[in-house]
Amino acid sequence: MDDKTQQNDDNGALESVTDPKSLIAVYKKNGTFDRQRKSMLENFKKSETHSNLLLKLKLMVENKIKNDPTILTKNRGKMAALIQGGIINEHMQQKKNSKNDTSLLSIVDKDIQEKIIDSPEFHDIVKTELKDIKRRLLGISDEDYAKQLEEEKRNKELELEKLRKEDMEREYAYKNNFKIKNLNTSYKVTKVPRFNISSNRNSFREDDSGLNGHNGAGSSKSGSENKSKDVKYLMY
């Protein structure tokens, strides 16, 4: 077997032990999953959601006992089954008839959704644990892994600093652009309306010539009338 074939086999072996399914299997087998689950349960018991859950469960049991006192005569197994059935029925009815589901199961579901499924902090914890499992499978020493984590941290800080500078530059450019627009609006020069003076002058000239023409015609007419009067006067 040549070196190239050996290297390909090693790469395939590494991929087989570091693929997602293998990592999850190791995550459960080495006890990390159980430790995380116990930690989550302890945090839940200290939360306000847990207190509200116990209070609501207590009120539900008291109401059931009040409606059917014979429940107390049953053994714990049957009593627990009846309470569990009541919780499920309440959840199904509220889920069907109301958009605002306040049942016990909904309280737990909401807490799990917020603190686990949608929690960036929890995602980071699991991601860190899986990365540690992967580097152990790859044979990376603690010292080399610490250097790798430090490098990743430094790169992340540089990336965050870059994003922060880009945000500041965008904000600065936006403010400058806003100021320029305001200046253009405040000192905008209002143009004086333009009149066509030459056409007005021509119209005035035409009006003057028309008036003069009328006056000339009138004066010539009056002159001829005066001449005729003078001729008649001389004849007599």
Please indicate, yes or no, if residue 15 is contained in any of the structural domains: yes
Measured at the alpha carbon of residue 145, what is the angle toward residues 142 and 146, in degrees to the nearest 5?
85
Pair of tokens at residue 147 = 């250097």
DSSP annotation of 47: S
Please indicate, yes or no, if residue 208 is contained in any of the structural domains: no
Range with the poorest average pLDDT among 50-59, 98-107, 223-232: 223-232
Same-domain pairing of 148 and 134: no
Same-domain pairing of 136 and 166: no
- pLDDT over 70 at 59, yes or no: yes
Closest CA to 104 of 112, 162, 135: 112
CB 103 within 8 A of CB 53: no
What confidence score (pLDDT) does residue 93 get? 80
Same-domain pairing of 105 and 59: yes
Please indicate, yes or no, if residue 109 is contained in any of the structural domains: yes
- pLDDT over 70 at 231, yes or no: no
Gap between the Cα atoms of 123 and 105, Å rounded = 23
Same-domain pairing of 50 and 94: yes
Please indicate, yes or no, if residue 225 is contained in any of the structural domains: no
> DSSP 3-state assignment of 201?
helix
Same-domain pairing of 118 and 166: no
* Number of domains the chain is built from: 2
Highest mean pLDDT among 16-30, 98-112, 143-157: 143-157
Q: How confident is the model at residue 219 (pLDDT cuts 50, 70, 90)?
A: very low
Gap between the Cα atoms of 7 and 12, Å rounded = 9
Same-domain pairing of 180 and 113: no
Same-domain pairing of 117 and 37: yes
- pLDDT over 90 at 169, yes or no: no
Q: How confident is the model at residue 73 (pLDDT cuts 50, 70, 90)?
A: confident
Pair of tokens at residue 25 = 């299997």
Q: How confident is the model at residue 154 (pLDDT cuts 50, 70, 90)?
A: very high
What confidence score (pLDDT) does residue 155 get? 93
Same-domain pairing of 135 and 154: no
Four-residue CA torsion sign, 48, 50, 56, 58: negative
**Mean pLDDT in the chain?**
74
What confidence score (pLDDT) does residue 147 get? 92
Please indicate, yes or no, if residue 233 is contained in any of the structural domains: no
- pLDDT over 90 at 158, yes or no: yes
Task: State the amino acid at position 222 in one-letter form.
Answer: S
Measured at the alpha carbon of residue 144, what is the angle toward residues 128 and 2, in degrees to the nearest 5?
105
Same-domain pairing of 157 and 49: no
Q: How many helices (H) and strands (E) does the chain have?
A: 9, 0
Please indicate, yes or no, if residue 194 is contained in any of the structural domains: no
Same-domain pairing of 156 and 109: no
Same-domain pairing of 120 and 20: yes
Q: By residue range, what is the domain housing residue 152?
A: 141-185
Same-domain pairing of 135 and 146: no
Please indicate, yes or no, if residue 224 is contained in any of the structural domains: no
DSSP annotation of 193: P
- pLDDT over 60 at 220, yes or no: no
Pair of tokens at residue 234 = 């001389």
Q: Is 220 left (phi over 0), alpha (psi -120 to 50) or beta?
A: alpha
